Amino acid sequence: MAEDKMSDDKNSQSALIGQLREHFQSKNAPRIKAVLAQLCDELLQNVGKPKLEEAAVVVEMLIEEYSTRPRMLASLANLKFTKYNLSIHSVNVMTLTLCFCLYVKYHPQAAKTMGVAAILHDVGKTQIDPNILNCDRRLTDEEFEMFKTHTVLGANMLRKSDFKENILPMVALEHHEKLDGSGYPNGIHNVSMAGQIIGLADSFEEMTINGRPYRKVIDPFDSLSILRRETEAGKYSKTLFRRFAYSIAD
């Protein structure tokens, strides 16, 4: 039974990767994003080594496809879907992260690792009460404390995944940390570069894509202005913020 399930999963993923290649050829951006979201959804449901390796293959395909036109990745993030969920958010953050990596000319292997880390930065949310994640009002202090545990939960899940890249649990743990110590879960000052980059992508995506009943979507220019003020206040590296802003500029 277990072998049959693994075989079915592998066949499903192979079919989806085949679809992704077809949509690359036709340059069908909505379908590309839909397939990415489905692949991401399957990965978030089962963070094991085989699916992590599959995610690495998909990110490598994206790097090869968009290396000469990285701004097209940002346009993928801007594509709106009727149903916004964790998988869509993760795909958006991954595409924004790859925009940065291609802009600063990261080595393809480093960019691939960053892409996988971005997909999984919020994997700990799969362990959080959906009523908290999907709440249509501001969270209470108690609920927010529970929400913040997604960072630690995600890091622990990825440490147990047998995937060799240490950057994955580090990003899951650090993407809400800030250089001035105002972030969570640990209020550290020495935030890794990867944690800052994916933290910037995560914050930008939340402001520009993920509207809530109590919080309207903010346009990209104003969102970058907010992040610039936070950078000037010491929350992010000025160099990283400047490069991030240029990487997604039209």
Judge if pTM exceeds 0.95: no
Q: What is the pLDDT of residues 162-214, one digit of tens each?
A: 777 789 999 999 999 999 999 999 999 999 999 999 999 999 999 998 766 66
Please report, for the chain, the start and end positions of each structural domain, with discontinuous segments joined by +.
2-248
Q: Is the peptide bond before 185 cis (omega within 30 degrees of 0)?
A: yes
Q: In this structure, are residues 168 and 116 in contact, taking their beta carbons and an 8 Å threshold?
A: yes
pLDDT at 4 over 80: no
Q: Which two tokens stand for residue 27?
A: 């340059």
Mean pLDDT of the chain, nearest integer: 90
Instruction: Report how far residue 78's alpha carbon sits from residue 95's, in angstroms, rounded to the nearest whole number.
Output: 10
CATH 1.10.3210.10, applies to 2-248: yes
Q: For residues 66-81, b (16+ Cβ closer than 10 Å) or e, as one string?
A: beeebeebbbbbbbee
Q: What is the pLDDT of residues 57-99, one digit of tens each?
A: 999 999 999 998 888 888 888 888 777 899 999 999 999 999 9
Q: CA angle, corner 154, sides to 153 and 158, nearest 5? A: 120
